[in-house]
Amino acid sequence: MSLIGEYIRRLPEYLRVPLYRNAIYLMADRVLMAGLGFLFWIVIARTYTDVEAGFAAAIIPVILFLALLSRFGFEIALVRFLPSAGKNSRSIINSCLTISGIGAILISVVFLLGLEFWAPALLFIRARWELTLSFILFTVTFALLVLMTQVFVARRKSAFVMATTLVGGVRIALLVVFAVYFGAFGVLASWGFAETLAVIIGMLLFMRIVIPGYKPIPTMRWGVVKDMVRYSAGNYVAAIFGMLPAALLPLLVLHELPTENVAYYYIAYTISSLLFAITGAVCMSLFAEGSHFEREWRGNVNKALKLIFLLQVPGVLFVMFFGGYLLLLFGGDYSSEGFVLLQVFSIASIFMAFNGVFLATRRVLKRMWPIIAIPAFNAFVIVSLAHLLLGPMGLVGTSIAWALSHGLVSLGIGVYYVVLHLRGLGGSALVPT
DSSP 8-state code for residue 156: T
Mean pLDDT of 358-365: 79
246: closest CA among 266, 271, 267, 260? Answer: 266
Considering the domain boundaries, does residue 432 fall inside one? no
- Asked if residues 15 and 24 have their Cβ atoms less than 8 Å apart, the reply is yes
Give dist(CA 88, CA 69) in Å, integer: 25
- Asked if residues 355 and 406 have their Cβ atoms less than 8 Å apart, the reply is yes
What is the DSSP annotation of 71-85?
Answer: HTTHHHHHHHHGGG-
Provide the number of structural domains found in the chain: 1
pLDDT for 254 equals 86
Return the sign of the alpha-carbon dihedral for residues 20, 93, 216, 149: negative
Considering the domain boundaries, does residue 211 fall inside one? yes
- Asked if residues 50 and 263 have their Cβ atoms less than 8 Å apart, the reply is yes
Q: Is 395 helix (H, G, I), strand (E, B) or coil?
A: coil
Considering the domain boundaries, does residue 428 fall inside one? no
Residue 177's domain spans which residues? 2-422
394: closest CA among 296, 264, 305, 283? Answer: 264
Q: Which residues of 268-307 are buried (b: 16+ CB within 10 A; e: fewer)?
A: bbbbbbbbbbbbbbbbbbbbbbbbbeeeebbebbebbbeb
- The number of beta carbons lying within 10 Å of the beta carbon of residue 240 is 18
For the cut 80, the answer to whether the pLDDT of residue 213 exceeds it is yes
> In 313-394, where do the E strands start and end?
none
For the cut 50, the answer to whether the pLDDT of residue 432 exceeds it is no
Considering the domain boundaries, does residue 273 fall inside one? yes
Burial of 238 (0-12, 13-18, 19+ CB in 10 A): buried
pLDDT for 33 equals 76
- Asked if residues 137 and 192 have their Cβ atoms less than 8 Å apart, the reply is yes
pLDDT for 428 equals 44
For the cut 70, the answer to whether the pLDDT of residue 295 exceeds it is no
Q: Which residues of 42-56 are buried (b: 16+ CB within 10 A; e: fewer)?
A: bbbbeebebebbbbb
For the cut 90, the answer to whether the pLDDT of residue 279 exceeds it is no
7-11, 307-311, 396-400, range with greatest mean pLDDT: 396-400
- Asked if residues 70 and 139 have their Cβ atoms less than 8 Å apart, the reply is yes
pLDDT, tens digit (0-9, with 9 covering 90-100), for 78-127: 877 777 767 778 888 999 999 999 999 999 999 999 988 888 878 888 88
Mean pLDDT of 235-259: 87
Helix (H) or strand (E) segment spanning residue 232: helix 222-256
Considering the domain boundaries, does residue 430 fall inside one? no
- Asked if residues 342 and 329 have their Cβ atoms less than 8 Å apart, the reply is no
For the cut 90, the answer to whether the pLDDT of residue 378 exceeds it is yes
The number of residues making up the chain comes to 433
Give dist(CA 97, CA 75) in Å, integer: 10
Strand partners, 431: 428
Q: Is 330 helix (H, G, I), strand (E, B) or coil?
A: coil
Considering the domain boundaries, does residue 18 fall inside one? yes
State pTM to two decimals: 0.76
Burial of 38 (0-12, 13-18, 19+ CB in 10 A): middle
Give dist(CA 122, CA 188) in Å, integer: 14
Alpha-carbon distances, residue 2 vs 5, 9, 28, 278, 385 (angstroms): 5, 10, 21, 21, 41
pLDDT, tens digit (0-9, with 9 covering 90-100), for 129-186: 888 999 999 999 999 999 999 888 888 777 788 888 888 888 877 776 776 566 667 7
Considering the domain boundaries, does residue 429 fall inside one? no
Considering the domain boundaries, does residue 124 fall inside one? yes
Residues of the chain by 3-state class (helix, strand, coil), percent to 5: 90, 0, 10
Give dist(CA 341, CA 253) in Å, integer: 13
